Amino acid sequence: MSKVVRGDGAYLHTADGRRVIDAISSWWVVTHGHCHPAIVRAIQEQAGKLNQIIFAGYTHDPAEDVAARILRLAPRGLDYVFFSDSGSASVEVAIKMALGYWHHNRKDRTRIVVMQHSYHGDTIGAMSVGARGVFNAAYGPLLFDVASIPFPAKGRERETLNALASICQSERPAAFIVEPLILGAGGMLMYPPWVLREMKRVCEVYDVLFIADEIMTGWGRTGSMFACEQANVTPDVVCYSKGITGGALPLAVTLCRAEIFEAHYSTDRTRTFFHSSSYTANPLACAAAKANLELWEDPETRRRLISVVAMQEKALEPFRTDARFENVRRTGTVTALDLKVNDAGYLAGVGPKLQSFFKDRNLLLRPLGNTIYVMPPYCVTAADIDEIYAGIREAADACGGLCGSKA
C-alpha cells in the first residue's frame, strides 16, 4: 500500500516523495483535477454555514441549486431529482422507482432486464442487476433473478436488439437498465450510439422503463456531457454520481420523468417513495457539486474536454498496429486495449503484474485483468499522456513470456 499525502491536478504525492500520475481519475471520479481551487473553496465556505441537515421536511440552497442546474444539463424530459450518496445507492433508487411505478399503477411488472457483462454497484439490488461471477458468488442467495441480453459486440448488434425485443414482448418486464456506450467494470466494452438509440426504441414499443446508468459515463467521459446525448435519448430514469462533485465528495442523483414521480405522489401515505439516507443531499457535497457544475458552464472546460479526446486518440493510434494488443478502442476521453495473453479476463494472471509494474513507474493504472484502460482527469497534459502510454508499451515488454497469442 502507498500512502498518499496530497493531490493536485492530475497528480498524487506519496509520503515517500513520489509523484504519481492519476491515469484513471481515482476510479473515475476526478474530472477537473485533484483539489481544484474552485471546488475546495466552495466546500470551505459551506463548512462555515451548514454542514449537515436532514433532507426530509427541510431543504437548503446548495441542494436546490444543484438540482436546478442538473435538470438544465440533463436530457430534456427528465423533471425530478432524487439525491443519494453513492452510485450504488442511485441504482437502488432507480430500481425502486421503476418497481414502485408499476405497483402504484396496479400492474404486476417486476422483472428487470440487464446486459451481459454489466456492473451497477455492490449493494444487493445493484449486484442483482450486474453480471454474476466470482465477485458476487458468495451472495447469490440474496440476489434477485433478472433477464439478460448479450453485449452488442461489433457485427452482432442485431442479436442484442432482437433479444431485448423478445424479452420485452414475452415477459413484460418493469425496466431495462444499461450503461450507455461503455460498460465500465465489465471490461471497458464499447458500443455505438445507434445501438443505444435502438434499445430505447424497443423499450418504448413495449412500454418498458429505460434506466440509464451514467455513473461512470457522465460528466464528459464519453466526449459529451452525458452519453445519452450522443444517441439523442432521454431515459425514463437516469443515475449520475462519481464526477458530480468533481471527485471531491460522495454524492449521487437519480432523475426521472414526471409520470414516475407522480405515481408515488399522493395524500395516501402508503404510496410514499420509501428511500432515504442520513447524508442525502449533504450541504458540503452539494456545494462541491455546485462548484463543479459552474465549471461546466465555462467554455474553457468544454475546450479542455475536446483536447483530451484528441490527445487520447493520438496516443492510442500506434497501438492499433501493435501485435501485442487487440481490441484497441476509444470512446470520448476513455481508451482501452487488451494485452494478448493465454488467460484473458478479469482474473488474468498478468493483471496483478501489470498493476505492480505501473505502480513502480509512478502511474496509477489499474487494469481489468489483461484490459488496460486510461481515463484521466481533464487537466492532464500532453506530457502526462506520453508518459502514460510509454509505460503501457514498456509494461507489454516487461511481461515477457506471459504475453503472446491467445490459446
pLDDT at 405: 39
Of the listed ranges 24-33, 57-66, 398-407, the least confidently predicted one is 398-407
Q: Which of 280, 296, 312 is the last residue of a domain?
A: 296
Considering the domain architecture, whether residues 121 and 240 belong to the same structural domain is answered as yes
Q: Which of 271, 296, 321 is the last residue of a domain?
A: 296
DSSP 340: P
- This prediction has a pTM of 0.95
pLDDT at 12: 98
Distances (CA, A) of 383 to 35, 106, 190, 333, 388: 21, 59, 27, 16, 9
Q: Which of 274, 296, 318 is the last residue of a domain?
A: 296
At 1, the pLDDT band (50, 70, 90 cuts) reads confident
Considering the domain architecture, whether residues 239 and 97 belong to the same structural domain is answered as yes
Q: How many domains does the structure of the chain reveal?
A: 2
143-200: per-residue pLDDT in tens?
Answer: 999 999 999 999 999 999 999 999 999 999 999 999 999 999 999 999 999 999 999 9
Considering the domain architecture, whether residues 235 and 365 belong to the same structural domain is answered as no
Considering the domain architecture, whether residues 59 and 143 belong to the same structural domain is answered as yes
Residue 270: pLDDT over 90: no
**Across all residues in the chain, what is the average pLDDT?**
95
105 is in which domain, residue-wise?
39-296
Provide mean pLDDT across the span 44-64.
96
At 276, the pLDDT band (50, 70, 90 cuts) reads confident
Burial of 321 (0-12, 13-18, 19+ CB in 10 A): exposed
Of the listed ranges 81-90, 109-118, 347-356, 380-389, the least confidently predicted one is 347-356
Residue 406: pLDDT over 50: no
The enclosing domain of 366 has a CATH number of: 3.90.1150.10
**Structure-model confidence comparison of residues 252 and 349, the more confident one:** 252
Considering the domain architecture, whether residues 256 and 131 belong to the same structural domain is answered as yes
**Structure-model confidence comparison of residues 313 and 344, the more confident one:** 313
Assess if residue 407 is contained within a domain: no
Provide mean pLDDT across the span 99-104.
96
Provide mean pLDDT across the span 258-272.
91
Considering the domain architecture, whether residues 96 and 15 belong to the same structural domain is answered as no
Report the alpha-carbon distance of residue 88 to residue 86 in Å, rounded.
5
Considering the domain architecture, whether residues 312 and 342 belong to the same structural domain is answered as yes
Q: Percent of the chain having pLDDT more than 90? A: 91
Considering the domain architecture, whether residues 393 and 316 belong to the same structural domain is answered as yes
Provide mean pLDDT across the span 27-47.
98
Encode 129-187 in three state secondary structure: CCCCCCCCHHHHHHCCCCEEECCCCCCCHHHHHHHHHHHHHHHCCCEEEECCCEECCCC
Provide mean pLDDT across the span 114-122.
97
Residue 358: pLDDT over 50: yes
